[in-house]
Copies of this chain bind each other. A is one copy, B any other.
Amino acid sequence: MPGPAVSIRDVASQAGVSVGTVSNVLNRPDIVAASTRNRVLAAISELGFVPNDAARQLRRGRGRTLGLVVLDVANPFFTDVAKGVEDATGAAGMAVIFCNSDGDSAKESRYLDLLEEQRVQGVLITPVDDANERLVRLRERGVLVVLLDRRSTRPDVCSVSVDDRLGGELAMRHLVEAGHRRIAFVGGPWRLEQVRDRCHGAVHALREAGLAEETLRRFETPSPTVAAGRDAASRILGLPRSARATAVFCANDLLALGVLQELTRQQVRVPEDIALVGYDDIDFAAAAAVPLSSVRQPRQRLGQTAAQLMLDEANDPENHRHKQVIFEPELVVRESSRYARTPG
């Protein structure tokens, strides 16, 4: 049933010109005479010709696609980032191959193989771990690489990130100022740099306030998801009340929502009994049972900027200067941490 595929050659003969001319109409319309051009265009639409990108790519060396590898599609943070990427690439007529590593480095690796076989122009990636050795190899083979939501340690690769340490500081300073002296940090897996940085920022704020590091107790989670958050909350509630944290800072909003669910289920009031601060300020944070305080990141701009950086390098590789863009996060205080704690 699939009618015979129509190629540039069919168009050529229908229009009474050579294949070269058809190709020119497609790629450099200005150098072909108007009358010829119209004849070709007519033939194209008459035959319903659709250029074969594989052939073009084969000839040109690289294609019109780019890969986006994120840690979790189900996390609204990343879907917003993806939207930003799409904005920038759609305008440039590029296709995005969306890959979900799920925080699993084997899966990440498989996807990178796939992208390499596709000869993508470049890869925008939030790597699972720091071992970017694989990414360096990619670059050497001519695949552009931009780190997403992760600061590059190497000067020869672009990155777009948000200052996670600062974010951690903002959250923790807020809690300390409200009088909290036993605070839990919920986040993980620890191998994620974002988690570590946010925690380190929090510790820094603690020191700054002249408090002991033990003020902050860490609860590591196997994944940054709602379910893991619920689990962490029940661990926190397992402690005797006198030793229990009076505030919880979560490495992202999914965790925070999970914590909130479990606290509520166990009749612990937020923020009266335990205050709560999340991270990312996803749209659902504001709609939560108790509207969630959170550290806001410019999610969409993150994606846009990363894509733009890659497109810039693709269009003018010669005098492209690798950049490390760092955005600043912003604390949004809502119900979940609003009331100051009376010390005790």
Binding site for B on A (CB under 8 A): 1-3, 5, 48, 50-55, 57-58, 61, 63, 65, 73-74, 76, 79-80, 82-83, 86, 90, 93, 95-100, 107, 110, 113-119, 137, 140-142, 226, 257, 260-261, 283-284, 286-291
Which residues on B sit within 8 Å (CB–CB) of A53? 117-119
CB distance A97 to B96 under 8 Å? yes
Residue among A53, A86, A142, A287 with most chain B CB within 10 A: A287
Which residues on B sit within 8 Å (CB–CB) of A63? 54
| Cross-interface CB contact of A289 among B93, B113, B116, B289, cutoff 8 Å | B289
Known: A52-B119, A86-B100, A96-B97. 15 other contacts (CB 8 A): A1-B142, A5-B61, A54-B54, A54-B63, A54-B119, A65-B118, A73-B82, A74-B80, A82-B98, A93-B114, A95-B99, A260-B287, A284-B287, A288-B288, A288-B289
21 CB contacts below 8 A, A to B, read A1-B142, A2-B141, A2-B142, A3-B140, A3-B141, A48-B141, A53-B119, A54-B54, A54-B119, A58-B58, A73-B82, A73-B83, A73-B86, A79-B79, A86-B100, A95-B114, A97-B98, A226-B287, A260-B287, A261-B286, A288-B289
Report the copy number of this chain in the oligomer: 2
Q: Give the complex CA separation of A125 and B211 in angstroms.
A: 55
CB distance A58 to B65 under 8 Å? no
Q: Give the complex CA separation of A110 and B89 in angstroms.
A: 13
Rounded to whole Å, the gap between the CB of A335 and the closest CB of chain B is: 9
CB distance A54 to B51 under 8 Å? no
Which residues on B sit within 8 Å (CB–CB) of A74? 76, 79-80, 83, 283
Rounded to whole Å, the gap between the CB of A51 and the closest CB of chain B is: 6
